[in-house]
Structure 1
């Protein structure tokens, strides 16, 4: 890459638990000779995603090229966090060949696109493409793109039901900004679920976009990197529910961290997290657990009542063997005392 050329950036967006971190981990390991840098925007105070990605660091994407922004949604902290971070990555020697930006599940991509017009970086960087990850099983179930006719029927039966939820607006904005949609968890959705999810995406996207099926974050980097979209140049073609808003707030969502001691049984913890999703409207749980008698740390990732866990690495010397979990829910749905009582038992 010439020093005078613009550095390509891929924005990876998608709803909570859609598989963004898994995809980036795959790209780090299969960069095809590209020297990568990664910006991770964690929602909440526990840096789970950044830690996961730094454990994947290789010579073409060393740990110092992986930067975590944990001070809030990236689209709301452009001047304070995003621009200085990009400038630091541009100053690295050797300079990265490509930057990957993982937004939080609540981020609207359009305000982030607008940041690429800032004078400090606009002549040096370009948005190669916006990738929207969509959970095939969840989309097929209608949780993120509701059927308008069905909603109207529900409204007629119960005037208290809203036309659409904040979650659907986030999903639709991410689709509207995308150059490509990656349909994840296809192995869980099955053929009928995949077909249903594709139909929902086609109906909700404001323009035709390619849809790629993916499982466990595995996709050929040649398909998704090097799109040359220059997305910052056609922002007007990417409509948003928030067009015209001066700023984007996240008062629709809350997060909290629950920290406690060791657990005895990962399966029992998974059942407790399922209870939080089913009975207490918790959307997302992620973090780490210390399991009694186990030298490895347990990584926990939950989307609704779907809980996955595996041992990711040994506990480091001197590291506190604590269980730390981030819980995310819609505004006013989080009761810290209830969460702790359910998780600790």
Structure 2
């Protein structure tokens, strides 16, 4: 079957907090009537990203078109989870015009792209493009190295040593597989910062890959869709640390959910979270909160010490008003201490 006859799929990848969900929301708003199906893969046992998209009120975005693959990494569960989900979409009486796949922030994109060569789906769907979202502020701050200065000194002393952290490796994997890189959070960068970010990115991408700069995930669907990359036929040009057969190890990271009651104030709650994040080196905080005397649900998103919050929708009738956060960090996080601090 020709590429033109296949349903296109766009893979949207990027590290925790890069802005994938916000970007997808803007993509849906500007999709021009296309029937879009979403597959959302989350790390952790709280479906925050899918819940944000569901009930968004965007025309053409129906809850039935948002499918969630929770509790793990889409790149590690291709046969068990991903292939059946794709087949379910393709076998609908009215298949989607385009499939969007939002990977977990800890996922490797290349194994997922490789899965599109599986016989069950190869003749029916193609990877239109791999879009890698980058948190520009995080790159400028050196987040993707455990200790950037120390690592630089070690490499100068012995360039043959492999001093990569798990964060660095994931960042490089996501860039190496990209057909387009979208630098998000432009509003948080000055000119010098952007020079640093672009230099960091260009070391990892293929020469032909375009870089787009945006703020708040605001980008038109016409820019992201229709790349016609057929990435599944172009795997050799996308190098990976795992091409030699080494497995992708998620044991470097862990997550857990914290359930709470109502909170009194968004600002006070975030002020409470900030020292906890700093003390325990938490990478990502995301979730919802019920605010006393407010009819709207509060979305909370944190990357390191940078937090944002906003009310997204009214609490549905019959839904319990409660607060729930997912905490993501290194494998040796002190979970009991973090839980106790948040609950105090």
Q: TM-score under structure 1 normalisation?
A: 0.93
| CA distance in structure 2 between the aligned counterparts of 1:156 and 1:240, rounded to whole angstroms | 23
Summarize deviations over 1:218-253 as a string: whole Å, max 9, x none. 112222110000000010110011112254231110
- Tell me, yes or no, if the aligned pair for 1:28 and 1:57 is still in contact at 8 Å: no
Would the alpha carbon gap of residues 117 and 155 (structure 1) be closer, same or farther in structure 2, given more than 3 Å must change? closer
- Tell me, yes or no, if the aligned pair for 2:26 and 2:220 is still in contact at 8 Å: no
Does residue 37 of structure 2 align to residue 37 of structure 1?
yes
- Tell me, yes or no, if the aligned pair for 2:291 and 2:297 is still in contact at 8 Å: yes
Q: Residue in 2 aligned with 1:342? A: 341
- Tell me, yes or no, if the aligned pair for 1:145 and 1:204 is still in contact at 8 Å: no
More moved, 174-183 vs 192-201: 192-201
| CA distance in structure 2 between the aligned counterparts of 1:211 and 1:132, rounded to whole angstroms | 10
5 Å-filtered alignment, 1:223-302, equals: 223-245=223-245, 247-302=247-302
Q: Secondary structure of the residue that 1:121 maps to in structure 2? A: helix
Would the alpha carbon gap of residues 3 and 226 (structure 1) be closer, same or farther in structure 2, given more than 3 Å must change? closer
CA positional deviation for 1:71: 3.1
Q: Residue in 1 aligned with 2:170? A: 170
Q: Secondary structure of the residue that 1:204 maps to in structure 2? A: coil
* Structure 1: runs of 5 or more not aligned: none
Q: Residue in 2 aligned with 1:332? A: 332
CA positional deviation for 1:60: 2.6
Would the alpha carbon gap of residues 240 and 280 (structure 1) be closer, same or farther in structure 2, given more than 3 Å must change? same
Aligned length: 340
Does residue 22 of structure 2 align to residue 22 of structure 1?
yes
Does residue 118 of structure 2 align to residue 118 of structure 1?
yes
CA positional deviation for 1:126: 0.3
Would the alpha carbon gap of residues 319 and 180 (structure 1) be closer, same or farther in structure 2, given more than 3 Å must change? same
More moved, 206-215 vs 226-235: 206-215
Summarize deviations over 1:271-306 as a string: whole Å, max 9, x none. 222112211110000001111221211111000110
Does residue 180 of structure 2 align to residue 180 of structure 1?
yes
- Tell me, yes or no, if the aligned pair for 1:39 and 1:67 is still in contact at 8 Å: yes
| CA distance in structure 2 between the aligned counterparts of 1:130 and 1:54, rounded to whole angstroms | 23
Q: Residue in 2 aligned with 1:306? A: 306
| CA distance in structure 2 between the aligned counterparts of 1:180 and 1:326, rounded to whole angstroms | 29
- Tell me, yes or no, if the aligned pair for 2:40 and 2:103 is still in contact at 8 Å: yes
Q: Residue in 2 aligned with 1:56? A: 56
CA positional deviation for 1:156: 8.3
CA positional deviation for 1:44: 0.5
CA positional deviation for 1:93: 2.8
Q: Secondary structure of the residue that 2:286 maps to in structure 1? A: strand
| CA distance in structure 1 between the aligned counterparts of 2:74 and 2:139, rounded to whole angstroms | 25
| CA distance in structure 1 between the aligned counterparts of 2:299 and 2:54, rounded to whole angstroms | 14
Q: Residue in 2 aligned with 1:197? A: 197
Q: Residue in 1 aligned with 2:107? A: 107
| CA distance in structure 2 between the aligned counterparts of 1:106 and 1:30, rounded to whole angstroms | 27
CA positional deviation for 1:154: 5.0
Q: Residue in 1 aligned with 2:75? A: 75
Q: Secondary structure of the residue that 1:100 maps to in structure 2? A: strand
CA positional deviation for 1:207: 3.7
CA positional deviation for 1:199: 1.1
CA positional deviation for 1:177: 0.1
- Tell me, yes or no, if the aligned pair for 1:26 and 1:217 is still in contact at 8 Å: yes
CA positional deviation for 1:150: 5.8
Q: Secondary structure of the residue that 2:23 maps to in structure 1? A: helix
Q: Secondary structure of the residue that 1:289 maps to in structure 2? A: strand
CA positional deviation for 1:155: 7.0
* Structure 2: runs of 5 or more not aligned: none
